[in-house]
Amino acid sequence: MFGEKLKNLRKQEHISQQRLADMLGVCQSTVAMWEKGKNSPEFETLISIAKIFSVSCDYLTGTGNEKTAFSIPVLGYVRAGLPTEAVEDIMGYEDVVLSENERSEHFALRIKGDSMAPRMMEGDTVIVKKQAEAVSGDICVALVGNADATVKKVIFRDTGLILMPLNSAYDPLFFTPDEVENTPVTIIGKVVELRARI
């Protein structure tokens, strides 16, 4: 089962056995043996494989929810700079590996602006998991007011919420607890993957 899943994931990502072997620091014949079911990777290598393909170790070993490739919509632009209106016109689709249950929990947005540079550049696409909560340090998409969206690192303080850019040319956006409630400032999702434009 592991071998089949590895082979399918590798082909979905258009990665050759040799390239995967190079990424993992093993021989191409080792990858071939895994895919034929004649051998299994050590746990540390399994973790590396899971990270490469953005899946869980449970999925690879057959103990988690079955995942497959789905297309999720790219819903317009989100500004990495000053907040801007969140447009939900579908601009295209991105393929992601998810379980059926996770599919409806994810969407993609195109980055506009440079406040998250150099990590996120204009034209890059982020995969976002819909969620209303975050922990300090997460990079999230937040709505400011009724229609303004921005992507920022969120930092929680006793004195309020900071939406922190990564580009030092931009000032942080600070909101007191009252402003968070009354503006309002709402987290709509956590960025779980960046797909950079080449």
- Residue whose C-alpha is closest to residue 139's, from 129, 168, 147: 129
Residues with catalytic function: 115, 152
Contacts of 165 (CB under 8 A, 6+ apart): 80, 81, 115, 116, 152, 153, 171, 172
- Residue whose C-alpha is closest to residue 137's, from 118, 116, 152: 152
DSSP 8-state symbol, 172:
P
Contacts of 74 (CB under 8 A, 6+ apart): 90, 91, 92, 93, 94, 107, 108, 109, 110, 125
Contacts of 115 (CB under 8 A, 6+ apart): 79, 80, 81, 82, 152, 165, 166, 167, 169, 170
192, 130 in Cβ contact below 8 A?
Answer: no
